Amino acid sequence: MVQHSKKIRVLAYICAVILMPVYIGGPLSMIFLSANRIPEADVSTSIFLVVICGILTFVFGKFAYLMFRFLKSLKVSFTFDDSGISLTNNGKTDVYSWHELEKSKEYTSCQIFCLIDSKGQHLFSIWEYADNYAEFRQMTAEQIGT
């Protein structure tokens, strides 16, 4: 069974409390600090500041989105075998074949693997510290190549 233990869930919430202000406040502070300088600066400096603010907003926004999505699925667990996975969420079990999970994606910068079904719906985000993560990743590499 792949699941996040109670210790890992607590650690995830602590990380969220520390990182979410950075993910949200970082781009906002850069925009706020740059807003006073852009009208006074020459064109190349203004373009540089706008590009940096845009990149920071995109990257930190992506990280915040992945963090929220991960936190939503912390209590979900699943089992896996050669035919697919059985995902249990709030007592409800759904079965997915490996073929249905081909859109799943790994985000190495965030240390998570997201299970995504064939419709593009997010099912579960797995942190690499979850129980049985290594065995699951080996199976996904064999079954769907990710």
129 band by pLDDT with thresholds 50, 70 and 90: very high
Residue among 53, 3, 5 nearest 29 (CA): 53
| 77 vs 112: CA distance, rounded Å | 15
Cα-based torsion angle of the residue sequence 110, 124, 23, 15 in order, rounded to the nearest 10 degrees: -70
pTM of the model: 0.81
Is pLDDT above 80 for 41? no
How many C-beta atoms surround the C-beta of residue 39 within 10 A? 7
Is pLDDT above 80 for 118? yes
